[in-house]
Amino acid sequence: MKTVLGFLVLLQATFSQGLQSMCNATQDAVCYGALGGPVHLQLIRDTTGHEIKLYSGADRIKSERVFTLKNSKTVFHLKTPSLRERWQFVPENGILIINPAESTDSGMYRVEIHDDSTGKSEGDHVIQLIIAGLACTRQVPCHVAVGQPVSRQLMVNAAGYELKLYNHTSRREGMFTFKNSKTVFHNEFNTPSFLQRWQFVPGNGTLIINPAESTDSGLYKVEIYEDSTGRLVGEQEAVLNIAAPVSDVDLSISCPITAERRVRCSSNGDSPQYSWSLDGRALSGADAHLSTDNQTVLLKGNVIGQLTCTVSNHISTTSITRVLFCPDILVISIIGLCGCLFLCVAVVTCYICRKKRNTHTLAETNEC
């Protein structure tokens, strides 16, 4: 049951709200908790006259029983020392307390409730527990704009733990190590320019990158060990993608003497994706031919209306709209013909004027 911690994007340079540690799990629920912090699960409101069984796993056949409450007595069945030290069920209020939460606590759990005297079932429900939530993984990267601050909460409190952070370029010792309340950055990551942007805050277990650069993109892995025993209590992986938002969108329309008009959309930014709409509806094959990258369209026939190009990437979205207007071939022909006639008239007029001037001059010469 491995959980991947997510990067929390701070678009306004403020910390995100912490994960809620109390969850109403009296019915089917998804509950989140922070690694290293306490988690409270309300399994039942009143345990009086009830027998409660908690199983690890949603499958009735393959699941393992975690504990049983009967006659106001709680018996844990799993022999894992770590779980028995960290897990506690309080019959007085029906709350299961996990403190501190570990990544291995994540998973599916099933609660069965029976009448204590008759053994009759009074219901069961499933809980999905995620330590900690807001996850991004190899398959679902975290996307952040270049220049924005980024924060990743590795755990609630790093006191009593050793942390190691790795990325796809770091050597065996990793990017940095936190141990005995001291953070040490290693090798090429121990430079003034890098240390100005990267900071680890032990008090709240948060890694801060400010401002983020495109070179910060990549796969990251965190290993967390118990400081006193050296026991691995959690490991997480996440992909961070730092990219430039789309901007400066432009739409160009060419009107050739053919029936198809060529429209091209362009923009700045990393990995832009293009989509088109005409008068608020998606542009269809009946309206135009799309290029393979969707950046250029060839409009068919006399398609008119408001054409919108929308450009987006994982960071931002923007659009531009233009009213389609191209004079048709007849209008273009008439304009061209008028231009030619005007030019011919001008040439003829100029010729006649010059001829008259020459005739007038010759007459004056003869009189002399």
In the predicted structure, residue 261 carries a pLDDT above the cut 80: yes
Q: Considering the domain boundaries, does residue 350 fall inside one?
A: no
Q: Considering the domain boundaries, does residue 100 fall inside one?
A: yes
Let me know: does 276 contact 297? Beta carbons within 8 Å. Answer: yes
Query: Mean of the pLDDT values across residues 300-326?
Result: 87
Q: Considering the domain boundaries, does residue 4 fall inside one?
A: no
- Cα 285 from Cα 336, distance rounded (Å): 32
Same domain, 153 and 213: yes
End-of-domain residue from the set 131, 155, 180: 131
Same domain, 106 and 28: yes
- Cα angle 232, 234, 235 (rounded to 5 degrees) comes to 105
- Cα 218 from Cα 138, distance rounded (Å): 10
Average pLDDT, the chain: 80
- Which stretch, 131-135, 300-304, 345-349, has highest mean pLDDT? 300-304
End-of-domain residue from the set 108, 131, 154: 131
- Cα 334 from Cα 338, distance rounded (Å): 6
Same domain, 102 and 178: no
- Cα 245 from Cα 314, distance rounded (Å): 8
Same domain, 90 and 188: no
In the predicted structure, residue 197 carries a pLDDT above the cut 80: yes
Same domain, 257 and 289: yes
Q: Which structure tokens are listed for 225?
A: 């060990």
Query: In this structure, how many other beta carbons lie within 10 angstroms of the beta carbon of residue 290?
Result: 17
End-of-domain residue from the set 243, 274, 307: 243
Band of the pLDDT at 357, cuts 50, 70, 90? low
Let me know: does 175 contact 196? Beta carbons within 8 Å. Answer: no
Q: Considering the domain boundaries, does residue 254 fall inside one?
A: yes
Q: Considering the domain boundaries, does residue 340 fall inside one?
A: no
Same domain, 70 and 84: yes
pLDDT of residue 328: 52
Same domain, 314 and 261: yes
In the predicted structure, residue 351 carries a pLDDT above the cut 70: no
Q: What is the pTM of this model?
A: 0.54
Say what the alpha-carbon torsion angle 36, 42, 47, 52 is, to the nearest 10 degrees: -70
For residue 207, give the CATH number of its domain: 2.60.40.10
Same domain, 254 and 232: no
Same domain, 167 and 216: yes
pLDDT of residue 347: 66
Q: Considering the domain boundaries, does residue 293 fall inside one?
A: yes
- Cα 75 from Cα 66, distance rounded (Å): 9
Question: β-strands 317-324, 305-312: how paired?
Answer: antiparallel
Q: Considering the domain boundaries, does residue 318 fall inside one?
A: yes
**Per-residue model confidence as pLDDT tens digits over 99-151:** 888 778 888 999 999 998 898 999 899 998 876 533 456 666 788 889 888 87
Same domain, 228 and 293: no
Tell me if residue 26 falls in helix, strand or coil.
coil
Q: Which structure tokens are listed for 33?
A: 């908790």
pLDDT of residue 143: 83
Which residue from 244, 252, 225, 217 is spatially nearest to 314, judged by alpha carbons?
Answer: 244
Domain span at residue 287 reads 247-329
Rg (CA), the chain: 36
- Which stretch, 74-88, 144-158, 176-190, 288-302, has highest mean pLDDT? 176-190
Residue 111, CA distances (Å) to 27, 39, 94, 303 in order:
9, 17, 12, 61
Q: Considering the domain boundaries, does residue 83 fall inside one?
A: yes
Using the 8-state DSSP alphabet, how is residue 7 labeled? P
pLDDT of residue 307: 94
Same domain, 112 and 169: no
The total number of structural domains that make up the chain: 3
Let me know: does 132 contact 19? Beta carbons within 8 Å. Answer: yes
Query: In this structure, how many other beta carbons lie within 10 angstroms of the beta carbon of residue 262?
Result: 17
Q: Which structure tokens are listed for 150?
A: 């980024």
State the residue for tokens 């919108």. 308
Tell me if residue 347 falls in helix, strand or coil.
helix
Same domain, 218 and 287: no
